[in-house]
Amino acid sequence: MRVFHSSGLVHRDIKCDNILLHSPPGSGRVHAKISDFGFAKKVDLNNKQTYLDGTVPFMKVDIYALGITFYKLITHKYPVNERKFKEQGKKMSQIKFIKRPSEIKDNLLWDLLSRLLEFDQNKRITAAEALQHPYFTSPEELSDISKEQKDLASLAAVAELEGDSSITEFDKDPTFIVSEYRILIFEKNY
């Protein structure tokens, strides 16, 4: 999402159905891919009239939708789960913030989610800020980087040197690599 937004693109339809997970056989990696760009829009990052406090407003909508998507993946429900669209809108207008669900035990995870789900778009975290959140960058999280993650990052760096043009900065940085094992543990706990 950070790369997408920094390129001046806004997805405008982030939801669970549009996040694809792919694990190349034998790679030990899981790639999350965003799909369905039917509503995507290119915005003029040079035109200051399109900005609101330094950020294109639609980008903040993508971040909120990403928060909803993570919430749904973790809790298996939506934060506001009314059956009819009108009822959903009414409830959303009555609440001031999303309450922490009992399924989310990790304080750092909840802090990140609550910042993604901030109703006030001017206070909502950006994709770049989310990646710098302590949930991903705290000393505890950094010490949890496994040997497997480091090995996968090293293999990616070697592959890039050997001419593999599909390698990205995220493939070479072990903090961006999530092993299949970690996803299985996550699924088991949530």
DSSP code at position 33: E
Tokens of 101: 């669900």
Q: Exposed, middle or buried: residue 170 (CB in 10 Å: 0-12, 13-18, 19+)?
A: middle
Q: How far is CA 145 from CA 70, 72, 176, 189, in A?
A: 21, 25, 10, 19
Query: Distance between CA atoms of 133 and 125, rounded to whole angstroms?
Result: 9
Q: How much is the pLDDT for 50? A: 47
Domains of the chain: 2-138 (1.10.510.10), 145-190 (no CATH)
Query: Distance between CA atoms of 40 and 23, rounded to whole angstroms?
Result: 25
What length does the chain have? 190
pTM: 0.71
Residue with tokens 């950020």: 55
Residues of the chain with pLDDT under 70: 28-29, 45-58, 177-190
Q: How much is the pLDDT for 162? A: 95
Q: How much is the pLDDT for 114? A: 96
The separation between the first and the last C-alpha atoms of the chain, rounded to the nearest angstrom, is: 24
C-alpha 31: how far from chain center: 12
